[in-house]
Structure 1
Amino acid sequence: MHSPSHQGPPPLGELRHMRYRDFYPLRDASVPHARHDFRARVTISGLTPDVAEAAELCLSELASNAVRHAQDHRQRRWFHVSCNVLGHYSRYLQLGVHDVDSAHLPKLPSVPVDPLDMFNDEAECGRGLFLVMQMADRVGVEHGPGCNGKTVWCTFRLPSPPTLMSRFVPRSRIPAYPVH
C-alpha cells in the first residue's frame, strides 16, 4: 500500500495549502540552482505561466540580494527559499528568501511618480527590489528577535479554485438561459 508521500507532490495549482523549503549555500552559483528547483516544481504544478515567470524572476532577485548583501560569519553559510500556496477562496503564492543577517535590512523603495527618476544611469545595483515590487502583489521584510535573521518575501495572487458546483456538474448539463 502506498502512502501519499510516495506518490509524488500534487500539482501546485490544485492545492489549497502547500509548503516547501530548500537550503542553498550563500554563493553566486546557488541562485541558478534555486531558480531551477523552483522551475521544476512549477512544471508539474499547473501554476499559470505568467505567475510562474514573474515568481521565478522575483525569486532570482531575492536570492541574488541574499548572496550579495547578507553577511554570515559562520563556517557554513546558507540561505533558504520557501514557497507557500495559501488560502481557500482567495489563494496566493508566497515566496520568501531567508538569511541570518538581520543587521542589513533591505530598504523597500517607494514608487515615485516617474519610476525612472529613482535610478542613476551608472548604478550597478538598486533595481532588483524595485522590479520585485512592480511584479508582485505585495512585498515585505520579516525580522525580529525570534526570526534568526530576516526573510524578504513577495506574494502573487492566484486564480480562485473552481467552485464546488462546477466540479460536479458537466458544462453540457448546465442550462443556458437566453439573454433578453
Structure 2
Amino acid sequence: MRFTATPRGARLARRLVSHRLDQWGYGYDSAVNETVTLIAAELAANAVRHGHVPGRDFHLRLTVSPDTLRVEVTDTRTERVPPRSVHEAPGDAESGRGLLLVARLATRWGTVPRPAAPGKTVWAELITR
C-alpha cells in the first residue's frame, strides 16, 4: 500500500499491518502481531523522517510465507541509506533507537535499492516458527 510521507501516513501503515496480521491469524494481542507491528511502525517512521521527499509517498508491503513474515518499506530518498550496523544511542539522545529496535526484534533486516526508480527499500523478516 502507498501512504503519505507524514506522521499520519506512518500511523495508518502501522494500523494496517496490525489489522492484516489479525486477519491472517496473528491476533492483535499475540507476540507476533505486536513485534511485526512495532517493526513496521519503526520502518514507516524512518521513511517519513529520513526518507521523505516533498510530494512523494512511501510504500509498505507485508508478505507471509509458511514460516516468515516480511515487512518492506520503500521511500524515494536514495542518498539516506541506513547503516549496515546499528549502535546504542547515547542515553540522552532524543532519537536513534528505531533501527536498533528493528535489528533486535527482527530475525534479519537489510536494505536494497529501489528497482527502476530512485530510492530504497528497508525490509525486515520475522521467523514465526
Fold shared per TM-score above 0.5: yes
Q: Secondary structure at the match of 2:14?
A: helix
Which of 77, 87, 98 is 1:101 aligned to?
Answer: 77
Q: Secondary structure at the match of 1:104?
A: coil
Name the residue aligned to 2:125. 155
Shift of residue 119, structure 1, vs aligned partner: 2.4
Q: 1:29 to 1:119 in 2, by over 3 A?
A: same
Name the residue aligned to 1:81. 60
Shift of residue 52, structure 1, vs aligned partner: 1.2
Query: How many residue pairs align between the two structures?
Result: 127
Shift of residue 145, structure 1, vs aligned partner: 6.2
Which of 6, 10, 13 is 1:34 aligned to?
Answer: 13
Question: C-alpha distance in 1, partners of 2:3/2:97?
Answer: 23
Question: Given that residues 3 and 57 in structure 2 are in contact (C-alpha distance below 8 angstroms), is that contact kept between their aligned partners in structure 1?
Answer: yes
Shift of residue 146, structure 1, vs aligned partner: 3.4
Larger radius of gyration: 1
Name the residue aligned to 2:103. 133
Q: Secondary structure at the match of 2:34?
A: helix
Can you list the C-alpha shifts for 1:48-79, whole angstroms capped at 9, x where unaligned?
Answer: 61111100001000000010011414xx3200
- Counterpart amino acid of residue 113 in structure 2: H
Question: TM (normalized to structure 1)?
Answer: 0.65
- CA RMSD across the alignment: 1.8
Name the residue aligned to 1:59. 40
Q: 1:144 to 1:66 in 2, by over 3 A?
A: closer
Question: C-alpha distance in 1, partners of 2:42/2:90?
Answer: 19
Shift of residue 86, structure 1, vs aligned partner: 2.7
- Counterpart amino acid of residue 109 in structure 2: V
Sequence identity (%): 31
Name the residue aligned to 1:165. none
Question: Given that residues 108 and 130 in structure 1 are in contact (C-alpha distance below 8 angstroms), is that contact kept between their aligned partners in structure 2?
Answer: no
Shift of residue 47, structure 1, vs aligned partner: 2.3
Name the residue aligned to 1:69. 50
Shift of residue 147, structure 1, vs aligned partner: 5.2
